[in-house]
Chains A and B, each alone.
Chain A
Amino acid sequence: MVFLDPAVIRLERQENQPPTLILSGDRYLDIRIRQAFPLTAENTFVAFFDQEDQYLGMIMDPTDLDSHSTQIINEEISWRYFIPQITQIKEIHDRGGKAIFVAVTDRGQLNISMRDLRASMVELSPNRILITDEFSNRYEIPDVDRLDRHSRRLIRRLI
């Protein structure tokens, strides 16, 4: 079977601890949650792994579970996948062969530096861009069209 039956799955957790999965009555402590398509189908196709990182199975849509389990999954996903969203690009300049974006994200303003623009910027879909900086931090522009005019003009020069 490709996917687990949502009816036999429940998640629970103590505050600030990794979650526990109850699968067909069996309890799996400290499980890990991963997404099959974290960039193209967020919050769906969620896979569970036990303490030893052994694959337990996956579900297609976490909202098929009870609301508490769904909430735990969503919290785990936002814990595991940290991708600040870029809301504004103030300037782009070149310094010693590195491209530096002075950007505002939903987590605050910062400088994003990239060594190889071509490899660092991936257009996931038209207007949606994933940026990986030289330290492997990741940032996302969910929709270039929704940026302000100045930011759009800067980013369009590069894509």
Chain B
Amino acid sequence: MLGESMLLVTTRHLVTASKTGDLWQLLHRVPLSDISQIRVEPLIGASGLILTVKGQLLRVLRYSYASAQDMSEAVESLVHLIDKEHGEEDHTSIHEEPAPDWSSRAAHIRTFKRLWSFCKPHKRSLSLAILVTISSSAIDLLPPYLTMIMVDEVLTDPSQYGWLALLVLVLAASRFLHTGVTILSGRMLAVLGDRLAFDARSELFHVLQLLPIKYYDAQQTGGLMARIARDAKSIHYFWIDFAPAVIQQGLLVFGMTAVLFYLNWELAYLVMIPIPAIIFASVKIKTYLTWFYGRSSDSWATFFDRVNDALAGIRVVKIFAQEEKQSAKMQMENEKVFQAERNIHVRSRTVRPLLAFLVSIGGLLVWWFGGQQVQNNEMTLGMLMAFFMYLAMFYGPVQQLTGMADWIPEMMTAITRTFEVIDSPPEEYDPREPVTLPEIKGRIELKDVSFGYVAHQPVLRNLNLTIEPGEMIGLVGHSGAGKSTLVKLLCRFYDIKQGQILIDGIDIRQISLTELRSQIGYVEQDPFLFSGSVADNIRFGNQEASKEKIIEAAINANAHEFVIKLPDGYDTHVGERGGRLSGGERQRIAIARAILHDPRILILDEPTSALDLETEKKIQEALGRLMQGRTTFAIAHRLSTLRDADRLLVLKDGAPVELGTHEELTALQGEYYRLVKLHSNVSSIVGVMG
């Protein structure tokens, strides 16, 4: 346990204190003017806050991950205060819209508003469907009344033969009409429901496309797929199964109450006795079950994640002969889903009959007191029968409404999760004051760039570099040195908060994202191909490209000869993630895709690793053509592939340590020289082993 500590910041001082018993003890009191730097050091199970005070490092606080979010915000504010203290204006801070909080109780109202916004475009069809549904209930009022007349007036008198025939005909007609109206309302609601589910899936998927990469860092694909598949359907359930039923049954409850009081007010009072207990129990059950539905949803999301992992990695599983273990793991997750589902179903199946029992108490009271009234000739037998029929029509909706109590938590949990995604802030595609960038020349300036995925845990530090148009920069460094992070920043997958990245003199945050990314090409180690034809994949970044252009790009990417030999040539379907092609083939199609995209800035992220020599040679040739005239950033662990780079930037722990040509850096005998030597040693070891 870390104990209880406090970080207090005034306009002049930073103060930390810790609590021992009931007493707070002052630990540090540091003037803000003495602090030159703030750093968060990741520890195991906690983080440490470290200040640079008058050139000396000072550990002021340690905090658990539970406080990480609060501390991150506090440190952010602290940095601004210190900058102010040092007279530095903050030019680079970005205001990020916080995602709305969907977990609070107040958020339920917002959920309903959002639900309405989905239905609004279809409000006319919904109103019509609900009206038709209500009509079917109204028609239902007729049979009990006719029954009363039949029992009291017609059945007791054999001379009323004609009336009997007429009443049976009217009953038949009402049943026929009721059936027709029910079919009509059912069909209308079904079509509307599918349309709403379609809208929800479309919006959810569209939003998922617009969300920033950092959103996906925190999510797993299986969980998101579960949301699209299951949770989005909850909006359909709400508007189609839930809302019309509530309106219809609610109106029936009110209508039947009036009818029961009209027929016999004394008995009607008895009917109402269990109602408060039913409402109270329903509300309690809803609260009780909500928690279980949340756990069920979580267990399903984890289950989908595991299934997704297991199927995507099936080759690895088989090679390591881990089929049984994977099955056992899946069994565990399946068990959790089973437990979560059982928790819900056992509980809801227990409480529902209990509620039904509460409801039946009213019926028993009517039998006892209504039976006495019939025996005493205070009420006719026909009226008692009609009363029971109406009573069934009263308790039916009451039971249905209470039955819905266990729908509500599940539905609202799913709806809330859906809106959590839909209302997450998307990437800011167009800045507030965008600068148009007709065609990038490719001059890139990095000015004091520092960045960390977690606030104040920098992955890149104080990077300064100017790259001329058409220049090739090789990024060198050990794993985790910050090479990939740098190229991600260029693509603006993440926004920097310190420093600036300028393209042709313009801050990339002022350029519209679509415009920026349309001029950047990215070839990665294991390129992703979409399910579709080879041609579809090559023209991914330029949908209007002609077939001639596709072939030309493929020729330049050394892909044409293998593509044309595929059974359907460029029309060949590559399968999910391009699984029907080899790694080298996928890579060459990705290069053709980049060539056709015709970017001004090119990023090559280890594109030739894990390939055989012949394929690597073909890809190197293709890359050579691709790089011509484009500003290029290339990352490669195989340093020999970077010899053609105009300059090499060597990164160590996120900081630039060397910059120069291969010859210059080799002569320097520094970090680059060390890496080259290490690499050639490894290569010779591999050579001896092979």
**Which residues of A are in contact with B by a Cβ distance under 8 Å?**
2-3, 34-41, 45, 47, 49, 53, 55, 58, 60, 122, 124
Q: Is the CB of A2 within 8 A of B548?
A: yes
Contact (A34, B564) CB under 8 Å given A2-B551, A2-B552, A41-B547: yes
Contact (A39, B548) CB under 8 Å given A34-B565, A58-B564: no
For the complex, what is the distance from the CA of A53 to the CA of B561, rounded to whole Å?
10
Q: Which A residues are CB-close (under 8 A) to B548?
A: 2-3, 60
Contact (A38, B568) CB under 8 Å given A2-B548, A45-B547: yes
Chain B proximity of A2: nearest CB distance (Å): 5
Interface-lining segment among B213-221, B260-268, B450-458, B569-577: B569-577
Q: Is the CB of A47 within 8 A of B571?
A: no
The reply on B146 being an interface residue by CB < 8 A is no
Q: Which of A53, A60, A122 contacts B565 (CB 8 A)?
A: A53
Q: Is the CB of A37 within 8 A of B569?
A: yes
The reply on B535 being an interface residue by CB < 8 A is yes
Sample of 19 more A-B contacts, CB < 8 Å, known A36-B564, A38-B571, A55-B561? A2-B551, A2-B552, A2-B555, A34-B564, A35-B569, A36-B569, A36-B570, A37-B571, A38-B569, A39-B568, A40-B571, A45-B551, A45-B569, A47-B564, A49-B565, A53-B565, A58-B551, A58-B564, A122-B573
Q: Is the CB of B573 within 8 A of A37?
A: no
* Closest chain A residue, CB of each to CB of B575: A119
* Closest chain A residue, CB of each to CB of B560: A55
Q: Which A residues are CB-close (under 8 A) to B535?
A: 37, 40
Q: Which A residues are CB-close (under 8 A) to B533?
A: 40
Q: Which A residues are CB-close (under 8 A) to B560?
A: 55
Q: Which A residues are CB-close (under 8 A) to B561?
A: 55
* Closest chain B residue, CB of each to CB of A36: B569
Interface flags, B534-569, vs A, CB<8A=1, else 0? 010000000000011001100100001101110011
Q: Is the CB of B555 within 8 A of A36?
A: no
For the complex, what is the distance from the CA of A34 to the CA of B569, rounded to whole Å?
8
Q: Which B residues are CB-close (under 8 A) to A60?
A: 548
Q: Which B residues are CB-close (under 8 A) to A124?
A: 571
Query: 22 A-B pairs, CB-CB below 8 angstroms?
Result: A2-B548, A2-B551, A3-B548, A34-B564, A34-B565, A35-B569, A36-B547, A36-B551, A36-B570, A37-B547, A37-B570, A37-B571, A38-B568, A39-B571, A40-B533, A40-B571, A45-B551, A45-B569, A49-B565, A55-B564, A60-B548, A122-B573
Chain A proximity of B318: nearest CB distance (Å): 21
Q: Which A residues are CB-close (under 8 A) to B571?
A: 37-40, 124
For the complex, what is the distance from the CA of A53 to the CA of B533, rounded to whole Å?
23
Q: Which of A36, A37, A39 has the most CB of B within 10 A?
A: A36
Chain A proximity of B595: nearest CB distance (Å): 13
* Closest chain B residue, CB of each to CB of A55: B561
Q: Which A residues are CB-close (under 8 A) to B563?
A: 36
Q: Which B residues are CB-close (under 8 A) to A58?
A: 551, 564
For the complex, what is the distance from the CA of A39 to the CA of B572, rounded to whole Å?
9
Chain B proximity of A67: nearest CB distance (Å): 24
For the complex, what is the distance from the CA of A57 to the CA of B552, rounded to whole Å?
12
Q: Which of A37, A38, A49, A53 has the most CB of B within 10 A?
A: A37
Q: Which B residues are CB-close (under 8 A) to A55?
A: 560-561, 564
Q: Which B residues are CB-close (under 8 A) to A38?
A: 568-569, 571
For the complex, what is the distance from the CA of A55 to the CA of B559, rounded to whole Å?
12
Shortest beta-carbon contacts, A-B, top 9: A39-B571, A36-B569, A55-B561, A47-B564, A2-B552, A36-B570, A37-B570, A37-B571, A40-B571
Chain B proximity of A134: nearest CB distance (Å): 17
Chain A proximity of B78: nearest CB distance (Å): 56
For the complex, what is the distance from the CA of A37 to the CA of B549, rounded to whole Å?
13
Q: Which of B551, B560, B563 has the most CB of A within 10 A?
A: B551
Q: Which B residues are CB-close (under 8 A) to A47?
A: 564, 569
For the complex, what is the distance from the CA of A47 to the CA of B568, rounded to whole Å?
13
Q: Which B residues are CB-close (under 8 A) to A34?
A: 564-565, 569
Q: Which B residues are CB-close (under 8 A) to A40?
A: 533, 535, 571
For the complex, what is the distance from the CA of A65 to the CA of B564, rounded to whole Å?
21
